[in-house]
């Protein structure tokens, strides 16, 4: 870690800036392939669907274990580049690098990854090396961080504001003893943010066996500076109805790094409330932005079309393509969680 680097030297841009490519990883972890939460074929079809949709807008680079290359190639568009690599899991947003712009070019922030505070799944030693591996492949300077963090645990507006949740960065299983001030200082140093908006928690299902304990990218995101997309559960019987109402009240009173009140755009949850295991955390907030497009979650639900329409409104000029994400959510995440954008230098 370079302790002399200042906030002014690095800045994470908003996700809508032009991308060089999107990075993903092909599923290999046992818990993703044993069918206990989602059939393996459904999981692979979902990952391929996201990659192939993104490849219609921009280059996609897919890490793949050598033993799985033939399987991946058979399902992926020829436009998706395969990169042989060793890793444990396939949540690229979380174990991969967070890209920022530095004074000398592209910077890859390498957080400490400990599998969401010690989630009891497959090992993660190889996942903690993914960020530096990708940085080397693209020629980005590595900026090490001592903070345990994941890319799904924050969202920036590109103008100095970051959304966080108390139960992620302040999780004692992630960063024991850290304070809000220390977390904010580390985000300022690595991503150039100056204003943090702290949400109290994430969605209910996210605290279950496969959850991240509060990732913000399941709840809220910035489609542009000054505007926030908010997941809203309208059915009062679902526990996330109270959760999202409280988050809405907090965001209503918040101001961003430029002193603006936030315009809140609600993305209503789909109509389905439960799956075979528990209350669902199906959310349309968890989408991937690409060059000229948005790859959105679909759930085979009447709410899919409504959400796609809202996304078209908040991302004018971008085509919205929906991919069935139920198999991804069964494993604890969504489309945003399995992708990581590499911004193009301005």
Q: Outline where the chain has alpha helix (H).
A: 30-33, 40-55, 69-75, 92-95, 115-118, 130-138, 166-169, 180-191, 240-252, 303-314, 326-329
- Cα 344 from Cα 184, distance rounded (Å): 26
Place of tokens 């020629």: 139
Q: Is 95 tagged catalytic?
A: no
Place of tokens 């911004």: 343
Q: DSSP label at 18?
A: -
Calculate the CA 248 to chain-centre distance. Answer: 20
Place of tokens 């645990």: 153
| Phi, psi torsion values for 137, nearest 5 degrees | -65, -35
How far from 112 is each of 1, 109, 150, 188, CA to CA, in Å? 12, 10, 8, 17
Q: Could you tell me the two tokens for 246?
A: 């409280």
- Cα 162 from Cα 194, distance rounded (Å): 8
Q: Which of 130, 257, 337, 338 is catalytic?
A: 337
If DSSP codes are grouped into helix, strand and coil, which group holds residue 105?
strand
Q: Could you tell me the two tokens for 307?
A: 């959400």
CA end-to-end distance (rounded Å), the chain: 25
Q: Which residues are catalytic?
A: 337
């Amino acid at each position: 870690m370079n302790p002399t680097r200042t906030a002014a030297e690095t800045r994470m841009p908003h996700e809508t800036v032009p991308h060089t490519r999107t990075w993903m990883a092909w599923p290999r972890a046992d818990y993703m392939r044993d069918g206990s939460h989602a059939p393996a074929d459904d999981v692979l079809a979902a990952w391929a669907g996201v990659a192939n949709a993104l490849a219609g807008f921009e280059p996609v680079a897919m890490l793949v274990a050598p033993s799985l290359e033939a399987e991946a190639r058979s399902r992926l568009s020829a436009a998706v580049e395969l990169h042989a690599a060793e890793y444990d899991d396939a949540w690229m947003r979380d174990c991969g690098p967070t890209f920022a712009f530095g004074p000398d070019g592209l910077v890859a922030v390498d957080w400490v990854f400990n599998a969401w505070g010690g989630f009891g799944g497959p090992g993660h030693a190889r996942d903690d090396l993914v960020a530096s591996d990708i940085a080397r492949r693209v020629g980005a300077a590595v900026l090490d961080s001592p903070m345990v963090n994941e890319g799904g645990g924050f969202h920036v507006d590109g103008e100095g504001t970051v959304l966080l949740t108390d139960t992620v960065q302040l999780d004692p299983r992630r960063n024991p003893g850290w304070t809000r001030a220390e977390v904010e200082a580390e985000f300022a140093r690595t991503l150039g943010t100056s204003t943090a908006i702290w949400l109290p928690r994430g969605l209910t299902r996210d605290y279950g066996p496969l959850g991240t304990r509060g990732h913000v990218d399941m709840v809220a995101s910035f489609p542009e500076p000054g505007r926030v997309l908010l997941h809203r559960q309208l059915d009062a019987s679902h526990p996330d109805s109270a959760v999202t109402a409280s988050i809405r009240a907090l965001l209503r009173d918040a101001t961003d790094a430029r002193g603006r009140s936030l315009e809140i755009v609600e993305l209503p949850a789909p109509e389905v409330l439960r799956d075979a295991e528990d209350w669902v955390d199906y959310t349309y907030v968890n989408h991937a932005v690409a060059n000229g497009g948005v790859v959105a979650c679909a759930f085979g639900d009447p709410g899919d079309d409504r959400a796609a329409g809202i996304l078209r409104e908040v991302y004018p000029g971008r085509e919205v393509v929906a991919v069935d994400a139920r198999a991804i959510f069964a494993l604890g995440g969504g489309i945003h969680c399995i992708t990581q954008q590499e911004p193009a230098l301005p």
